[in-house]
Amino acid sequence: MRTGEVFALTWNDIDLEKRIIKINKTVYAKDKDNNGRWYLGTTKTEGSLREVYICDSLYRLLCDYKELQNKNKKYYGKKYKAYYLKTIKNKYGKIVEYKIAEGKSKCNNANMVFTRKNGTYSGTDISKYPFKIIHHELGLNCRFYDLRGSFATISLRNGCEIKDIAEVLGHKRIETTERYYITSNNNDKKKVVELFDKTINLVNKR
């Protein structure tokens, strides 16, 4: 998932029973006012609308995380931050985006997945500190978004079809996946030659 797609998730988007995550929006920051700066809008492209299967490892993590979040809600009680989705319309009256505003609503509460312990929602900013640690202490210069490329490359190397990988990533064209997300190193190139050599030798032995 793209960074904005991950931190736009609400618990309504996650079906733990069917093990499906529905990706249908993204979050972005705008000028801050008295009631927050984070907004929910449509995904990057039409092809970005998709459902992603929840594997066993992710399922366990999400269940544990939800349980922890519920414990934090009980611990902080009334001090736990709550948010609702405020509709933003254009001059024609059409809803163009939703503002994530602090407070409660009778029918439009935003049950955001990724928050701080006290419920504070900070959008994509919540991922900045961990990646600073990764960069400065581990010496790895990467961003949260770069994990998409790692996912694509590892999946391809393990025999997945490029078309399936593209659909999971939300790419309409597989060329986008091939050109910008699949990486190759010296070991990969060496493996190509070794596999070719092995195949040729098997043919010759026949």
pLDDT tens, position by position, 91-100: 999 999 999 9
Which DSSP category does 46 fall into? G
Express as a percent the part of the chain with pLDDT over 90.
63
**The CATH fold of domain 1-124:** hpI Integrase; Chain A (1.10.443)
- What CA dihedral angle connects 153, 154, 156 and 159, to 10 degrees? 170
Query: Could you tell me which residue, 186 or 83, shows the higher pLDDT?
Result: 83
pTM over 0.85: no
Express as a percent the part of the chain with pLDDT over 70.
96
| pLDDT score recorded for residue 69 | 97
Per-residue pLDDT at 169 exceeds 90? yes
User: At 183, phi and psi to the nearest 5?
Assistant: -110, 160
Per-residue pLDDT at 82 exceeds 70? yes
Strand partners, 102: 83
- How far apart are the C-alpha atoms of 23 and 167, rounded to whole Å? 12
Confidence of residue 43 (pLDDT cuts 50, 70, 90): confident
| pLDDT score recorded for residue 206 | 64
Contact 67/161 with Cβ under 8 angstroms?
Answer: no
| pLDDT score recorded for residue 33 | 65
| pLDDT score recorded for residue 47 | 78
Per-residue pLDDT at 202 exceeds 60? yes
Domain ranges of the chain: 1-124, 143-206
In terms of Cβ atoms closer than 10 Å to its own Cβ (0-12, 13-18, 19+), residue 123 is buried
| pLDDT score recorded for residue 129 | 87
Mapped onto helix, strand or coil, the DSSP state of residue 70 is helix
Mapped onto helix, strand or coil, the DSSP state of residue 102 is strand
- How far apart are the C-alpha atoms of 38 and 52, rounded to whole Å? 24
In the chain, alpha helices (H): 3-6, 56-76, 128-138, 147-157, 162-169, 174-180, 186-205
